[in-house]
Amino acid sequence: MKSRITIGALVAVAIFFVLLYVVFEKVDNRESVKKTESQKLRVGFVLLSDTADNGWNETHYKGIRAACDSLGVQRTLTIDIPEERVPLANAVNAMIGDSLKVIVLTSYNYPILIRDIIESHPDVTFYGINWEFDAPNYKAYFARIYQARYLAGIVAGSMTETNHVGYVAAMKNIQVYRGLNAFILGVQSVNPKAKVFVRWTNSWNEGETETENANKLIDSSGIDVIAFHQDRAFIIEVAEKRGLYCIGNHVENNRFSPRMLTSIAIDWSIIYKDFIQDYIQKKDNENMDYWIGLEKDAVGLAFYSSEVPDSVKALVNAAAEKIKTGHNVFSGRIMDVHGGIRSEEGETIGDEVLHSEMNWLVKGAIEP
């Protein structure tokens, strides 16, 4: 009897280890398949200008490199592609001809300019930073950069002595309006008397135009703090020469004077890793769009200069914590420059409007 029990026990143990081996072998095989898929994946990225511009494109490139290296993905970059149909179409068609199945368009107007190419290649997945276009093989992604601009507005509103703040904006599109409005609301949250004077350049990267508009703002509006939404540091250079405080845009470290107070920043690696990993794991249809912000530390302020007092930092930190726990900066009574009510007390402006309908300026903006 004893020997039968012993033999039965041994058989049971043997079966257990066989089953355990099978389970772990399947898991290992799945992990091997994922790793192989990621190593085979080649992702194309189209960028607007130089990857060493100390601004928008450089931060993009660093994020791309970090995400791809982390995931074992090969990257193919095409740079210096303006927001113009012909050069963009040539760049994207070359990537498609090279058998790339994932193409990332890193500038706002890119998807609109080649919508026919996107729609005619359903076997290629495109990602772009624009919610104004839709297709089955296109997914929008972006950082909630307006949250960082709101925080930068708190700094500007706290540091101005004239209550006149300047802002040099690029294109009159929803992305720029959204960020500008958030900045103004940030200024007003700490300084209700402040006004924000705005000039438009209709360019992302035109040094002469940006310099001219910054100087016009300074000469005509009595501003003592200036912010901007462009790719490079031309506005900062004007502020340095004219002795103004400045808020940077995608500047990772302060190579200027302490009058450069801070800069909005995006950690693109968090965003790129998020959606590329979903694509590898075939989860991308579960999350059709990617809009990531302070809740994952994808946006924020890059640094503070010695000119920014601790009391201002405390205001920014308090606002950031509030946003992280779900506060929408576009909340409460918000009026536009024409007196229209866009949000009432107890209301918020939701993502659908922020994506596609915010083509207006909040009260407090002045276009001289």
| Structural domains of the chain, with CATH | 39-143+269-294 (3.40.50.2300), 145-265+299-366 (3.40.50.2300)
Burial of 317 (0-12, 13-18, 19+ CB in 10 A): middle
Exposed, middle or buried by CB within 10 Å (0-12, 13-18, 19+), for 232? Answer: buried
Q: Which two tokens stand for residue 265?
A: 């920043």
Centre a 10 Å sphere on the Cβ of residue 145 and count the other Cβ atoms it contains: 24
Which long-range contacts (C-beta less than 8 Å, at least 24 apart) are formed by 85-92? 85/113, 85/114, 88/46, 88/113, 88/114, 89/113, 89/114, 89/117, 91/46, 92/44, 92/46, 92/117
pLDDT tens digits, the chain, 368 residues: what are they?
Answer: 444 445 555 555 555 554 544 444 444 444 433 444 455 899 999 999 888 877 788 888 999 999 999 999 999 999 999 999 999 999 999 999 999 999 999 998 999 999 999 999 999 999 999 888 889 999 999 999 999 999 999 999 999 999 999 999 999 999 999 999 999 999 999 999 999 999 999 998 899 999 999 999 999 999 999 999 998 889 999 999 999 999 999 888 888 999 999 999 999 999 999 999 999 998 877 557 899 999 999 999 999 999 999 999 999 999 999 999 999 999 999 999 999 999 999 999 999 999 889 999 999 999 98
Distance CA 61, CA 91 (A): 17
Contact criterion met (CB below 8 Å) for 323 and 153:
no
Q: What angle do CA 80, 203, 93 make, to 5 degrees?
A: 35
Residue 160: other Cβ atoms inside 10 A: 23
Pairing of strands 334-335, 341-343: antiparallel
Q: Is the pTM of this model over 0.75?
A: yes
Cα distances (Å, whole numbers) of residue 133 to 122, 130, 186, 285, 332: 15, 7, 29, 17, 29
In the prediction, which pLDDT does 10 show?
55
353 torsion bin: left (phi>0), alpha (psi -120 to 50), beta (else) = alpha
Question: Beta 341-343 vs 74-78: how paired, if at all?
Answer: unpaired
Query: What would the DSSP string read from start to end of 3-55?
Result: HHHHHHHHHHHHHHHHHHHHHHHHHHHHHHHHHHHHHH-EEEEE-SS-TTSSS
| C-alpha span between 177 and 175 (Å, rounded) | 6
Q: What's the confidence (pLDDT) of residue 16?
A: 52
Looking at the DSSP bridge assignments, the partners of residue 164 are 195
Report in angstroms the alpha-carbon separations of 363 from 96, 217, 357.
46, 19, 17
Bridge partners for 92 per DSSP = none
How many CA atoms does the CB half-sphere of 66 hold within 13 Å?
14
d(CA 13, CA 234): 73
What is the C-alpha end-to-end distance of the chain, expressed in Å? 101
Residue owning tokens 């420059």: 337
What's the gap between Cα 148 and its chain centre? 10
Can you spell out the DSSP letters for 148-171? HHHHHHHHHHHH-SSSEEEEEE--
Looking at the chain, the number of H-run helices and the number of E-run strands are: 12, 15
Amino acid letter at 270? I
The residues facing 76 across adjacent strands are 44
**pLDDT at residue 2 in the model:** 45
Give me the pLDDT at residue 22, please. 43
What are the structure tokens assigned to 360, written together? 């207006």
Kindly state the tokens that stand for 181.
Answer: 């409005």
